[in-house]
């Protein structure tokens, strides 16, 4: 893979094409492991707490699993069928979106208690956050017009500075971990396997 | 067991969270029922995004890496619809390839109902093609850039790519003039940089969530020509491209919904400053 | 008035939205039901799509003559051996293939895209601003240069942050905090948008359109 990037030989480029395609196929085939792990987790949850309510939770999981699976296989059009779309849009879409909506309240309540001007770093965090937040809200864009260029400046100058530093540092770390992995020196992978 | 707050400063710093929740809900619902209609200012990243598409020559090929999530559609729908309308309004060839599990369902639903390519005189297989879902990841993006048919032998309807008129002379990055990378995971911005910009010097623009925009900015404008971050910039691209959509309502409703948070945030800081400097309860 | 199935879908969707929002009051069985529903639904959705992808990308081409695709299919199946302790060691082989290819793909682009180009652009932008004579541009790009250098110095963990390195790391921390603040802000507004989307769906789509026929 690395040789395909740094050398002009076509054979390495061809190998890269084949290898990256294999990754896509392997990833696709292994997805059913999620079902096994989910079953394992559900069994353990029920064993820890053998109540009718817990059983109801387990049955709910499998009810929706099979409802989606059957509606995705049994009707013409598979996942594009009207039946699957009904399940997908009304349940999967709504629950997934609402989980993120709940995070607004969590973030807001935690900011109320912890986002205070206790140190210079906290002031920097606060200023960066609040200036860019106000820049995004049309109400403040109209009634505090200078917030727009100031918010843009925060995004394009100090955020870029900090972000680039973080990108370079993270890339250096990723390179080192990658080389150690290829060299067989990465301990965490040995432990994980 | 926590003690009851006694001083004024403590009391305003320990208001029950549920007041914040209730006020936020009420203030968010008001503009949904009665819109305010305030104007929106367009930012630099949006203008760069628009220009990258606008300056394409007729006949250019655009590859849209579509990694949309249904759960996150509220945040990005405005971006998607405005971008698709822009692409169909111009004489471009568009390849949509789905990189996330929800993407095929979203694109098929929206391209059949909300944005109709036929209304722009576009024909499937001649002007645009939709490729199905494949779990690409970064390796898959690299594979796609090198050999499209290796990753997607057929389109979303099962037709072999060799039988699609538009794809006759298109099989790798050499035929692609612009990559639009639509994604939902913040660190994914590195994928098109590493797999499209660095090896092939392809122009790339990105559309992502609001929280991922600041992480894409370090790559702007040299490695990515423009970016859209969140529904706010989705509204901006609607304005710049003159394609109204769902973004306006989203941006409008934010006006009041954020106010309770700002109020509680100010109260939290007043409480802290009062406890530190007035009653000296908090040390630095 | 909308069709019965659409109204039913709207009511079911509304129930699930409220079930998840009820978590704000306290953890309760209604929330748990919504939580368990999405777990089952997500697994089923991913299985449906990925097997279709494997079928189109590997099985059918293999049956059409591209027999080499048997290898990644077989490697994918070997991954399932990790479910049984006695033969879990076999899964190391496909894992190694995935890790090796993924690492190689990542390394190739990282050096240029995220290290060299980032440093080059930082310096080039500053020198271009000096050449142009624009004072605001010079200030901004000088700030970026200082911010990038000091932020990188913050991540130097092999030496104690004392003296010049300490001062540089402290300044770098400030830039990193501003960057974190901007990210936090993006998240806050994103979550608010999600809330607006769901409430708008209930009010405009379910109540106004489906139930009231507006």
pLDDT attached to residue B187 = 87
Return the residue of A nearest to B270 by Cα. A116
For the stretch A132-162, pLDDT in tens is 999 999 999 999 999 999 999 999 999 999 9
Q: What is the pLDDT of residue C206?
A: 87
Q: For residues B144 and B161, what is the distance between their CA atoms, to the nearest angstrom?
A: 13
User: ipTM score of the complex?
Assistant: 0.88
Nearest to B263 by CA among B22, B2, B75, B4: B22
Measured between CB atoms, which of C109, C147, C173 is closest to A121?
C173
Q: Are residues B73 and B146 in the same domain?
A: yes
Domain enclosing residue B16, as ranges: 8-34+255-278
How close does chain C come to B217, measured CA to CA in Å?
10
> In this predicted model, what pLDDT tens digit does every residue of A61-96 receive, in sequence order?
999 999 999 998 888 777 778 889 899 989 999 999
Inside any domain, residue B163: yes
Return the sign of the alpha-carbon dihedral for residues C60, C63, C66, C71: positive
Q: Range of C26's domain?
A: 1-65
Residue ending a domain, among A74, A107, A128, is: A74
Whether the Cβ atoms of residue B65 and residue B151 lie closer than 8 Å to each other: no
What is the average pLDDT value for chain C, to the nearest integer? 89
* Whole-angstrom distance, CA of residue B230 vs CA of residue B81: 13
The span from the CA of C103 to the CA of C99, in Å, is 6
Question: What residues in B contact C175, CB-CB < 8 Å?
Answer: none
- Which chain B residues are within 8 Å of A125, Cβ to Cβ? none
Domain shared by A64 and A132, yes or no: no
Buried b (16+ CB within 10 A) or exposed e, A133-142: bbbbbbbbbb
Looking at chain C, which residue has its C-alpha nearest residue B222?
C121
Judged against a pLDDT cut of 70, whether residue A191 lies above it is answered with no
Amino acid C2: pLDDT: 64
Residue B1 placed within a domain: no
- Same domain flag for B115 and B164: yes
Is A82 contained in some domain?
no
Mark which of C65, C86, C109 sits at the end of a domain: C65
Q: What does the pLDDT look like over A6-19, one tens digit per residue?
A: 777 778 878 887 88
CATH of the domain at B224: 3.40.50
Beta pairing class for B93-98 and B128-133: parallel
Number of domains, chain A: 2
pLDDT of residue A189 exceeding 60, the answer is: no
Helix (H) or strand (E) holding A114: helix A94-114
User: B48 and B183: one domain?
Assistant: yes
The answer to whether A20 contacts B140, with C-beta atoms less than 8 Å apart, is: yes
At residue C105, does pLDDT exceed 90?
no
Q: Are residues B157 and B233 in the same domain?
A: yes
Residue B191 sits in the same domain as residue B272: no
pLDDT band of C50, cuts 50, 70, 90: confident
Is the same domain home to B13 and B74? no
Domain membership of residue C121 (yes or no) is no
Q: Check whether residue B51 and residue B146 sit in a common domain.
A: yes
Tell me the pTM.
0.88
Does any CB of chain A come closer than 8 Å to the CB of residue C99? yes
Number of domains in chain C: 2
Domain of A43, in residue numbers: 1-74
In-domain check, residue A102 = no
Residue B250 lies in a domain: no
Same domain, B30 and B118: no
Position of tokens 């499998």?
A: A62
In order along its 284 residues, chain B shows pLDDT tens digits of 456 667 888 888 888 888 999 999 999 999 888 888 888 889 999 999 999 999 999 999 999 999 999 899 999 999 999 999 999 999 999 999 999 888 988 998 887 788 999 999 999 999 999 999 888 788 888 889 989 998 898 899 889 999 999 999 999 999 999 999 999 988 899 999 989 998 899 999 999 999 999 999 999 988 999 999 999 999 999 999 999 888 888 888 898 999 999 999 999 999 999 988 887 776 65
Query: B105, B257, B259, B265: best mutation site toward chain C, by most C Cβ within 10 Å?
Result: B257
> What sections of chain B are H helices per DSSP?
8-13, 17-33, 44-54, 73-89, 103-113, 137-146, 148-151, 190-192, 198-200, 213-216, 230-241, 247-257, 259-273
pLDDT of C24 reads: 87
A20 vs C174, higher pLDDT: C174
Question: Residue A156: what pLDDT?
Answer: 92
Count structural domains, chain B: 2
Mind telling me how many Å the CA of C87 is from chain B's nearest CA?
27
Contact A97 C188 (CB under 8 A): no
Res A193: pLDDT:
52
Q: Assess if residue A146 is contained within a domain.
A: yes
| CB proximity under 8 Å: C 158-197 to A | 172-182, 184-192, 194-195, 197
Same domain, A66 and A129: no
The answer to whether position C156 is within a domain reads: yes
Asked if C188 and A61 come within 8 Å (Cβ–Cβ), the reply is no
The pLDDT tens digits for A90-119 are 999 999 999 999 999 999 988 888 888 889
Q: Are residues B159 and B22 in the same domain?
A: no
Size of interface A-B (CB pairs under 8 A): 155
Write out chain C residues lying below 8 Å of B76, CB-based. Answer: none
- Using alpha carbons, select from A43, A96, A91 the residue that is nearest to residue A71: A91
């Amino acid at each position: 893979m690395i040789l395909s990037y740094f050398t002009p030989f076509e054979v390495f480029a061809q190998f890269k094409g084949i290898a990256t395609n294999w990754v896509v196929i392997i990833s696709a085939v292994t997805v059913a492991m999620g079902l096994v792990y989910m079953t394992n987790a559900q069994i353990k949850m029920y064993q820890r707490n053998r109540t009718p309510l817990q059983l109801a939770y387990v049955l709910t999981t499998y009810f929706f699993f099979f409802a989606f699976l059957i509606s995705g296989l049994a009707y013409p059009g598979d996942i594009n069928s009207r039946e699957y779309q009904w399940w997908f849009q009304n349940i999967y879409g709504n629950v997934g979106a609402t989980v993120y909506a709940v995070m607004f309240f969590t973030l807001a309540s935690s900011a109320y208690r912890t986002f205070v001007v206790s140190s210079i770093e906290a002031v920097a965090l606060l200023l960066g956050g609040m200036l860019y937040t106000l820049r995004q809200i049309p109400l403040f864009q109209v009634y505090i017009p200078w917030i727009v260029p100031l918010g843009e400046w925060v995004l394009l100058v100090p955020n870029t500075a900090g972000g680039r530093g973080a990108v370079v540092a993270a890339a250096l770390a990723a390179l080192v971990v990658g080389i150690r992995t290829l060299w067989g020196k990465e301990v965490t992978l040995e432990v994980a396997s | 067991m926590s003690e009851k707050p006694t001083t004024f400063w403590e009391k305003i710093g320990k208001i029950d969270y549920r007041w914040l929740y209730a006020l936020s809900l009420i203030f968010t619902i008001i503009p949904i029922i009665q819109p305010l209609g305030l104007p929106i200012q367009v930012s630099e990243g949006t203008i760069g995004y628009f220009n990258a598409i606008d300056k394409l020559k007729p006949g250019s090929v655009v590859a849209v890496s579509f990694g949309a999530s249904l759960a996150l559609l509220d945040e990005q729908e405005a971006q998607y619809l405005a971008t698709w309308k822009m692409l169909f309004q111009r004489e471009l060839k568009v390849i949509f390839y789905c990189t996330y599990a929800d993407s095929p369902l979203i694109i098929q639903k929206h391209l059949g109902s909300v944005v109709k390519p036929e209304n722009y005189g576009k024909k499937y297989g001649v002007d645009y093609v939709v490729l199905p879902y494949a779990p690409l990841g970064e390796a898959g993006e690299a594979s796609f850039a090198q050999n499209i048919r290796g990753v997607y032998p057929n389109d979303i309807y099962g037709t072999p790519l060799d039988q699609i008129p538009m794809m006759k002379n298109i099989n790798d990055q050499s035929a692609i003039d612009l990559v639009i990378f639509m994604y939902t995971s913040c660190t994914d911005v590195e994928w098109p940089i590493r797999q499209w910009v660095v090896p092939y010097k392809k122009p790339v623009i990105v559309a992502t969530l609001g929280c991922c925009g600041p992480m894409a900015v370090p790559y702007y404008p040299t490695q990515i020509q423009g970016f859209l971050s969140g529904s706010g910039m989705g509204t901006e691209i609607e304005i710049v491209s003159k394609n109204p959509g769902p973004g306006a309502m989203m941006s409008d409703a934010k006006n009041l919904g954020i106010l309770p948070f700002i109020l509680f945030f100010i109260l939290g800081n007043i409480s802290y400053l009062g406890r530190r400097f007035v009653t000296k309860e908090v040390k630095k | 008035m909308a069709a019965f199935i659409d109204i039913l879908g709207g009511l079911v969707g509304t129930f699930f939205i409220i079930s998840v929002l009820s978590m704000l009051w306290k953890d309760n069985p209604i929330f748990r039901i919504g939580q368990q529903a999405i777990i089952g639904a997500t697994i089923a959705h991913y299985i449906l799509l990925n097997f279709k992808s494997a079928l189109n990308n590997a099985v059918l081409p293999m049956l059409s003559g591209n027999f080499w695709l048997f290898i990644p299919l077989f490697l994918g199946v070997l991954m399932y051996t990790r479910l049984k302790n006695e033969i879990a060691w076999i899964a190391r082989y496909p894992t190694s293939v995935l890790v090796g290819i993924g690492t190689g793909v990542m390394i190739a682009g990282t050096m240029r895209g995220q290290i060299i180009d980032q440093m080059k652009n930082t310096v080039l932008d500053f020198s271009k601003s000096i050449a142009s004579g624009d004072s605001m541009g010079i200030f901004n790009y000088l700030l970026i240069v200082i911010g990038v250098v000091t932020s990188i110095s913050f991540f130097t963990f092999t030496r104690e942050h004392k003296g010049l390195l300490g001062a540089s790391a402290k300044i770098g921390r400030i830039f990193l905090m501003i960057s974190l603040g901007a990210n936090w802000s993006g998240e806050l507004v994103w979550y608010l948008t999600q809330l607006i989307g769901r409430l708008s769906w209930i009010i405009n789509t379910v109540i106004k359109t489906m139930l009231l026929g507006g």
